[in-house]
Amino acid sequence: MQFRVILLFLCACQFTFGALKFVQIWFRHGERLPTHFLKFPSEDSTDLKYLDIAYPGELTNNGIYQEMILGEKLRAIYGSHFGKKYIPTDFHVYTGKDNRTSTSAQAMFSGFFPPTKEQRWNDKLNWQPIAQETDVSLDWVSLGAVDNCPVYGETFRDSSEYIDVLSQVEEQDPGLIELVRKHSGIPIKEATKYNHAIDSLKIRTILQDPRFPVPEWAHGYEDRILNMSFSIHDKIVKIQNESIGNYHVELIMTYFENHLKSNKTKGIFISGHDTNIVTIWDVLQLKNHPNDIPYFGAHLAIEMHEKAGALSLKFFLSMGFNETQVEVTPALCEDTGCSWEKFKSLTESSRKSKSDWILECQGIERAGEPVSTITGSMIVLLSILVLSTIILGFTTFSYKRQLNSLRDPERARLL
């Protein structure tokens, strides 16, 4: 019954929006253990039972399962667009450097593209590997950028907007931050440190596993912890719109533009983080999204449709691996619809190129990027000077040899 409803929905969409031409799907990794902070002072530091669940920052078995379910759900929605057989040239898959994004991509595709009979390479394993590429910049988002970008991170930490975030969340829930300061064992003087402790408490709350329990001192604060996790990230993301937000606009537009140039691929899959999704909905001002952090396996689908030769965009958000897609609308297109040309024109001034973002993050230019005109001119001029010096040196040496030869007594008469 559910599958028939999805089919009817897809048929209705095609009639209303036109044929689906291309789709990019940004999805969050599955359930994982905390990355930064694991043990509190009141706990036994030698108790490592949590490692039976997963290693820090890595997917749990449940997280892998969530991604497989997400793949099956996306298959029901987009299976007819991508076809039954995995064809590597039909789409590209990008993941961050974090293991959890790479593992999530493979788990998701186990549900999205199980092998056909001809592609079955193991009779006992209904799975096939899917090619993927690493894009480390996908991890440079929200507090990930603060941690991983030495140049941008230092500048951002010193900004008054970032410094004020801690004051804002302290005012929002003074009792919670006082509790965490008292029991975490770490000095909380900035939002990053506070988030590390909150993230550990949040994951414990979600897991509900006796091997990694919520500390007794945090009992009764679970809902406030979940709210605080979203609040910290949302506040950070909002003040990054002109940097990381604009870079995400660049990625979105580049994926579409590359498709239109080649007209061969059917889609792009980006395995990232909840904050990638939050960044996109903030920078594009997507309406109708909830004030909550996207759950594990959440995804944002940005579809390009073609009808009578005209291209348009549609945005669909799912807040978790088992949640239904809901249409969200950019503020730019709220009144008159989102035609491709209109969207391209309105976002033209809000794009930060990848080379500019790498330079801002790392303080170095990306290998293979063309050098500036001035730098190129200086290199050419230096090459000419070096060549002239070499030629002048050989000429001087040649004349000196001739002069010494003429000073020979036997050749003195030639003078």
pLDDT tens track for 270-328: 999 999 999 999 999 998 888 899 999 999 999 999 999 999 999 999 999 999 999 99
pLDDT of 134: 97
Do the strands 19-28 and 267-272 form a parallel or antiparallel pair, or are they unpaired? Answer: parallel
Instruction: Identify each DSSP E strand in 171-321 by its residue range.
Output: 267-272, 286-287, 299-307, 310-318
Closest CA to 300 of 341, 262, 248, 337: 248
pLDDT at 155 over 70: yes
Split at pLDDT 50, 70, 90, the class of 14 is: very low
pLDDT of 262: 84
Split at pLDDT 50, 70, 90, the class of 395 is: low
Q: Which residue has the tokens 């930490």?
A: 157
Q: Which residues pair with 284 in a beta bridge?
A: none
> If you average pLDDT over every residue of the chain, what do you get?
88
State pLDDT tens for residues 122-154.
999 999 999 999 999 999 999 999 999 999 999
The residues spanned by each domain of the chain are: 2-349, 374-414
Enter the DSSP assignment of 304.
Answer: E
CA atoms in the 13 A half-sphere facing the CB of 249: 23
Sheet architecture: strand order including 299-307: 133-134, 91-95, 267-272, 19-28, 299-307, 310-318, 326-330, 286-287
The alpha-helical segments, DSSP class H, found in 137-190 are: 143-148, 150-157, 160-172, 174-184
pLDDT of 5: 46
pLDDT at 4 over 70: no
Domain spanning 2-349: CATH 3.40.50.1240: yes
Q: What is the enclosing helix (H) or strand (E) of 383? A: helix 373-406
Rounded to the nearest 10 degrees, how much is the dihedral formed by the CA atoms of 338, 344, 350, 355? 140
State pLDDT tens for residues 29-40.
999 999 887 889
DSSP secondary structure string, 206-234?
HH--TTSPPPGGGTT-HHHHHHHHHHHHH
Query: Distance between CA 277 and CA 186 in Å, rounded?
Result: 30
Average pLDDT over residues 196-205: 95
Q: Which residue has the tokens 């801002």?
A: 360
Average pLDDT over residues 30-51: 92
pLDDT at 359 over 50: yes
State pLDDT tens for residues 75-114.
999 999 999 999 999 999 999 999 999 999 999 999 999 9
Among the listed ranges 38-42, 207-211, 250-254, which one has the minimum average pLDDT value? Answer: 38-42
pLDDT of 366: 46
Identity of residue 27: F
